[in-house]
Amino acid sequence: MPKLAVFNLVSLDGYIADRNGDMSWAHKDPHDAEWNAFTSSNASGGGALVFGRVTYDLMVKWWPTPQAAQAMPAVAAGMNAAPKLVFSRTMKQASWQNTRLVNGDPAAEMRRLKQGPGPDMVILGSGSIVGQLAEAGLIDSYQVAVSPVVLGKGKTMFETVTHQLALRLTGSRAFGNGTVVLTYQPA
């Protein structure tokens, strides 16, 4: 049965986007060999990508472009080739290759997907989807890359969670750029 993971970059104060929805602070030096090797390895892990509409809109504007292919060839190839699932109540159709649009309840659809055959899945960004699926107990692991920046205010990936989620640390890795990747599983 497929597993569901989360990968998100967060500021030191826990935000995935600033108060205006901007995520430019999360962009790393394109010449950072250590970070690029890590993201390339993550992108080549196979599986399906899961997005909410807002994150999907950001991703589709970048990854299918020639600029993305030139800047981060391995990541762009992985992002473009991967099967993608986008949850949206407002989108009528998805334009990015290998994308399936789901207009229904994210928790019900994810429960169905996790009970059948299929690839593992990873949610990127998509704070509202992370919150809904975390609250429903459907996320198997969280990989959180903590970036050394403080935003003051913004959007968290757990804004919609209404009860405490106990997690246990299963791994950590510090990078020369100051980012620390923490891996958790539900306790």
Q: What would the DSSP string read from start to end of 113-171?
A: HHHSS---EEEES-HHHHHHHHHTT---EEEEEEES---SSEE-TTTT--S---EEEEE
Rounded-to-integer distance, Cα 143 and Cα 45, Å: 14
The C-alpha angle 5, 9, 14, rounded to 5 degrees, equals 105
- In degrees and rounded to multiples of 5, residue 111 shows phi and psi of -55, -45
Domain boundaries, the chain: 4-186
pLDDT tens digit at each of 187 positions of the chain: 999 999 999 999 999 999 998 888 887 787 888 988 898 787 766 789 999 999 999 899 999 999 999 988 888 888 999 999 999 999 999 999 999 999 999 999 999 999 999 999 999 988 899 999 999 999 999 999 999 999 999 999 998 899 999 999 999 999 999 999 999 999 9
| Cα Rg of the chain, angstroms | 16
- Residue pair 112/133 in contact (Cβ under 8 Å)? The answer is no
pTM of the entire predicted model: 0.91
Of 127, 126, 183, whose CA–CA distance to 158 is shortest? Answer: 127
Considering the domain 4-186 in this protein, what is its CATH number?
Answer: 3.40.430.10
Each residue of 41-50: pLDDT tens digit? 877 667 899 9
Task: Report how far apart, in Å, the C-alpha atoms of 136 and of each of 20, 50, 61, 147, 150 are.
Answer: 28, 16, 30, 27, 29
Instruction: Quote the crossing angle between the two packed helices 127-135 and 106-115, to the nearest 10°.
Output: 70
Each residue of 83-125: pLDDT tens digit? 999 999 999 999 999 999 999 999 999 999 999 999 999 999 8
